[in-house]
Structure 1
Amino acid sequence: MHLCWKITLMLMVLVCVSEQQGNFRRPTRVGVNCCKEVSNARIPAKMPLIGYKHQNALDPCVEAIIFYTTNEKYCSDPKARWISHRMKGLKEIKD
């Protein structure tokens, strides 16, 4: 008799799980828009920057300081010596 109850219970659980999965909706894919590599090259002083953002490393993205102009963005190595000097006076852009 115990075996019959176990089988019945297992079937009921299976039906409930199947019902739940039928209503499950997969999350929408989001495209990755981040720095996947960085440069140590200095950004020229005459280039007008409007802000910066620190990007954490989360595969496929790498740790970077992203400098923004009105039209472009530059992925820079946060360990480069010139970074802190170039960040002075710029506002940090938050998501």
Structure 2
Amino acid sequence: MMGWTSKLFVFAVLITLMGCFTGALGNFRRPTRVGVNCCKEVSNARIPAKISLIGYKHQNALDPCVEAIIFYTANEKYCSDPKARWISHRMKGLKEIKD
């Protein structure tokens, strides 16, 4: 039979182990879901002059995203082909948006 000091020692060890496990679980953070929010295709079509643009961003190609110039309005974004001839003209005077 175990004496009361041995039982106390086993109890103390169990409490310590439980503290280690619950502490480790408390620090565990579930990974957040990252949705891919990028241009997966681009258009060569001009954005009409009547559409008021507020800025642009250059997007590098990193699968599934493609290389693009993203033009922003107050409510929408347009994925445009950076090689289209009209792009540089439309970018003039716009603020480049940084991440």
- TM-score, normalising length: structure 1: 0.72
Which 4+ runs in 1 deviate beyond 2 A?
22-29
What is aligned with 2:74? 70
Superposition RMSD in Å: 1.5
Within 5 Å, which residues of 2 pair with 1:29-40? 29-40=33-44
Runs of at least 5 residues in structure 2 that lack an aligned partner in the other structure: 1-23
Q: Which residue of 2 aligns with 1:81?
A: 85
When Rg is computed on C-alpha atoms for both structures, the one with the higher figure is 2
What's the CA shift string for 1:20-45, capped at 9, x where partnerless? xx977664331100000000000001
Q: Percent identity?
A: 93
Tell me the matched-pair count: 74
Deviation, 1:76, is 0.1
CA distance in 2 between counterparts of 1:49 and 1:68 reads 6
Larger CA deviation: 71-80 vs 25-34: 25-34
Q: What is the distance in 2 between the residues matched to 1:25 and 1:69? A: 36
TM (norm. structure 2) is 0.69
